[in-house]
Chains A and B, each alone.
Chain A
């Protein structure tokens, strides 16, 4: 199963991925339209001492957000592995339990609509929009196995240290 991986050293903080994400989740499907529609990106780029660090949902194996969801809206799809609170039988009510549960801070409140929003891997898009837009190669959409061992170890280390 393909995952979005981050090669942190390559991220330059241009935020193009956040714009591409907003565009993909807008009805106009373009950046200008997404800004007019005020679409909130689902990927964020945090900064640590000025260094940019892209952050989005990792679609965990045992997602704490799914456990925390009291409406049943947040589900992990058995086939695709995508964790999403959209297009499921139940709908999100904006109780923010998932925000309280996600150790990565990858779920954002959309206060306008009163729902939580998160990465849905562009819901079936061949390559997620953020990855496609990344100019530096900091975002990768690959099978876990093809991601170099070194980088996997690095990511895994970061995950275990902090999750």
Chain B
């Protein structure tokens, strides 16, 4: 049996480990376009800040591949799949046959069409090579403009700030972290970042990024100008673009695999094409809160999907139980924050709130018919998982509703 896994991150490695647990004889091959052993993308900002090295961002032990007898084809890009003959084509012309194939290709940085965005000195922060590049460029830079006020952008901003750079973040929408938090939570996090000295501009887009003038280039200067929609011009030597991601579905083009925003899979992690599975950021699963099919590009879900794919590929048939698509934990500076499930209250839902921005404290719960649908904790994130479990299991909260917002609420409040 030949198991081929495209992708060497959370879902891919988890699948490999799981397959090996049940099949000691089969061949497992992991193909990755990156030349590195599996590292944690979430730690790239820490790498950038110098708090973690290339070694300490690895999330698997050094002997992971050897111990699990996994063959690696790193630095090779899978470009096409021949699903009829069960073959994967690599960019270098080689082919790899499979009996079972897992697509765990993750996602890539989305780069918006902005004039000048493909100039040198402009980076994404999606993979280790990006981080290495930014780190190198940061040595010569004094000022940086981060385009995008999402998680990646703000974490990059904080890392670069801690390296001593003057940082400005520009977010097109009216709040930071618009995808993960609501306005109130974002405001607290923003104040916390600004208190550190990071400038944050919201509600303003990038019109153009202008490179150094010919004259400046002659003197080996790298200064750039970032022109905003409002007309403001920000001077900097480095630009980091963090405006979201897109699922890496390119290699499915000729396969007939059903793709929406990501690869559609069933509850056994199977695509519509036999013997091809998908898991992780590239896969679309049903969200337990909304009941709808969609991407859930978060670490814990990738791990679970990887494991489920592995189990099903190896014949240990197991159904994937629906997960919460959106769960995020963040602590940019001093204020921890967690959001799970819905963060904006729909009209047909009820909201329970404690909002004390001056204390960096905010709690919001969203309920529908006494079923928890979402929550945001800012400032005190203890026991957030208990709420996640209530959301996931759709436990009616009627009995302990008055206790829900209290700091003393915990697992024991549910079982008693």
Instruction: List the interface of chain A (C-beta within 8 A of B).
Output: 44, 46-49, 51, 53, 55, 64, 67-72, 89-91, 93-109, 158, 161-163
The CA of A101 and the CA of B388, in the complex, are separated in Å by 7
Known: A51-B416, A70-B43, A108-B382. A100 touches B410 (CB 8 A): no
The CA of A55 and the CA of B395, in the complex, are separated in Å by 20
Contact of A90 among B59, B300, B383, B395 (CB under 8 A): B59
**Docked-complex contact A96 and B56, CB < 8 angstroms:** no
Known: A46-B413, A96-B331. A103 touches B59 (CB 8 A): no
Max chain B Cβ within 10 angstroms of own Cβ: one of A49, A53, A105, A109: A105
Residues 37-67 of B, flagged 1 when their CB comes within 8 A of A and 0 if not, give 0001011001000001000111111100000
The CA of A99 and the CA of B331, in the complex, are separated in Å by 13
Chain A residues with Cβ below 8 Å from B338 are: 96, 99-100
Closest-CB distance, B126 to chain A (whole angstroms): 15
Closest-CB distance, B373 to chain A (whole angstroms): 16
Chain A residues with Cβ below 8 Å from B415 are: 53, 158, 161-162
Chain A residues with Cβ below 8 Å from B412 are: 46-48, 53, 55
**Docked-complex contact A47 and B408, CB < 8 angstroms:** yes
**Docked-complex contact B336 and A109, CB < 8 angstroms:** yes
Chain A residues with Cβ below 8 Å from B340 are: 100
- Chain B interface residue number, banded: 35 or more
**Docked-complex contact B411 and A109, CB < 8 angstroms:** no
Chain A residues with Cβ below 8 Å from B60 are: 72
Closest-CB distance, A106 to chain B (whole angstroms): 8
Chain B residues with Cβ below 8 Å from A91 are: 56
**Docked-complex contact A70 and B385, CB < 8 angstroms:** no
The CA of A162 and the CA of B304, in the complex, are separated in Å by 20
The CA of A95 and the CA of B385, in the complex, are separated in Å by 14
B265 at interface by CB-CB < 8 Å? no
Known: A70-B42, A100-B340. A55 touches B411 (CB 8 A): yes
**Docked-complex contact A103 and B388, CB < 8 angstroms:** yes
16 A-B Cβ contacts within 8 A? A48-B412, A67-B300, A68-B299, A72-B58, A95-B42, A96-B381, A98-B385, A99-B329, A99-B383, A100-B329, A100-B381, A103-B385, A104-B385, A105-B382, A105-B383, A105-B386
Instruction: List the interface of chain B (C-beta within 8 A of A).
Output: 10, 40, 42-43, 46, 52, 56-62, 299-300, 303-304, 307, 327, 329, 331, 336, 338, 340, 381-386, 388-389, 393, 395, 408, 410-416
The CA of A104 and the CA of B412, in the complex, are separated in Å by 8
A95 nearest CB neighbor, chain B only: B329
**Docked-complex contact B56 and A90, CB < 8 angstroms:** yes
Known: A46-B408, A100-B340. A72 touches B59 (CB 8 A): yes
**Docked-complex contact A67 and B304, CB < 8 angstroms:** yes
Known: A93-B43, A105-B410. A68 touches B389 (CB 8 A): no
Closest 4 pairs between A and B when the two form their complex, measured CB to CB? A72-B59, A103-B389, A105-B383, A53-B412
Chain A residues with Cβ below 8 Å from B389 are: 103, 162-163
The CA of A53 and the CA of B386, in the complex, are separated in Å by 15
**Docked-complex contact B416 and A103, CB < 8 angstroms:** no
Chain A residues with Cβ below 8 Å from B59 are: 69-72, 90
Chain A residues with Cβ below 8 Å from B414 are: 161-162
Contact of B329 among A47, A64, A97, A162 (CB under 8 A): A97
**Docked-complex contact A71 and B43, CB < 8 angstroms:** yes
**Docked-complex contact B411 and A99, CB < 8 angstroms:** no
The CA of A104 and the CA of B410, in the complex, are separated in Å by 8
Known: A46-B410, A71-B59, A163-B393. A103 touches B331 (CB 8 A): no
